[in-house]
Structure 1
Amino acid sequence: MRVGITGHRGLSGEVERTVRALIEEAVTAYGTGTGNAGLVGVSCIADGPDTWFARAVLDHGGRLEVVLPAARYRADLPAWHHSTYDDLLRRATEVHRTGLDASGPDAHMAGSELLVDQVDVLLAVWDGRPARGYGGTADVVTYAREHDVSVQVLWPEGATRD
């Protein structure tokens, strides 16, 4: 089973705790029956849901594949996240690249499209609202649905992003 992740970053502590638990449940469920070694998680390994998912996959004995939206993607992530990003990138069994150099909305959407094209199921940490900018979670969910990739939304009932 190949499972990907997309989702909102910068969640409040309470929402983060609930989302982490939902990701953990999803990873456990998708690994059941395939032996978790059969589970492949695909992530862009940004801070937030991408990283929580990647760690859960590895912690459950699955394999991690990483999508790099751009050659300079790491530089656009928070400095405090770089060591985690580097660790997860080292642990990846495969790295997919868009071929783009500059990071930004176009590269992020290209990376998300490449990710969706690699998976059977997309987990979406999504509040159900429109994207705040091109390449946001809503855009990724729309792309997945247009390409017949199953989407499982992971969002705590009643939670808000702000």
Structure 2
Amino acid sequence: MRIAVSGHRGLPPQTASMIDSAIRAELAGHAPAVTGLSCLADGADQIFARAVLDLGGNVEVVIPAEQYRDGLPEEALREYDALLSQATQVHRLAFVESTSESHMEASRRMLDEADELIAVWDGQPARGYGGTADVVTAAKECGIRVRVIWPDGARRD
């Protein structure tokens, strides 16, 4: 099973913990025969990738742009580097700048390789092009199953 992730960044600690538990519950039925596809952004992407690895699965990373890491928050870099070092495959897109367009293209690349999408999503419209709502729409247009995770009481910054 190949599962892509898209989800919110800027998650408060309590929400991150709830989402981690929900993702692990969703993945448990597939582990360890699961490959997770992630861009490793802070928030949902890193939570998902860590859960896949902890459950014995593999992670493939899609890096949207050469300067992608530079745009991540300082507190997310250690986990980004750790997860990237454990990836079984890394796909680097040809973009230099980390923009909403490169992020959406990375999401499309993940969807091209995925059997389903886990969307850590509050159900609201995207705050900018390439946000989770856009990825959910793209997945549905491709006929990819979407599982939304947003536990009761979850919130985002």
| TM-score of the aligned structures, taking structure 1 as reference length | 0.92
1:13-64 Cα distance to aligned partner (Å, 9 max, x none): 3322211111111121222xxxx1x211111011111111111111111111
d(CA) in 2 for partners of 1:18, 1:96: 29
Aligned to 2:126: 131
Aligned to 1:6: 6
May I ask how many residue pairs the two structures share in their alignment?
157
1:151 to 123, 143, 146: 146
Pairwise CA RMSD of aligned residues? 1.2
| 1:108 counterpart letter in structure 2 | H
Q: Is the 8 A contact 2:9 2:156 kept in 1?
A: no
Higher strand share: 2
Q: Is the 8 A contact 1:18 1:156 kept in 2?
A: yes
Aligned to 1:28: 28
Greater RCO between the two (CA within 8 Å, min separation 6)?
2
Give the 5 Å matches for 1:9-158: 9-31=9-31, 36=32, 38-157=33-152
* SS of 1:98 mapped into structure 2: strand
d(CA) in 2 for partners of 1:50, 1:66: 10
Q: CA offset at residue 158 of structure 1?
A: 5.2
| 1:89 counterpart letter in structure 2 | L
d(CA) in 1 for partners of 2:78, 2:17: 22
Q: Is the 8 A contact 2:64 2:105 kept in 1?
A: yes
d(CA) in 2 for partners of 1:158, 1:53: 19
* SS of 1:129 mapped into structure 2: coil
d(CA) in 1 for partners of 2:85, 2:136: 28
d(CA) in 1 for partners of 2:13, 2:88: 31
Structure 2: any 5+ residue segments left out of the alignment?
none
| TM-score of the aligned structures, taking structure 2 as reference length | 0.95
Report percent identity of matched pairs: 49
* SS of 2:30 mapped into structure 1: helix
d(CA) in 2 for partners of 1:93, 1:158: 34
Q: Is the 8 A contact 1:98 1:114 kept in 2?
A: no
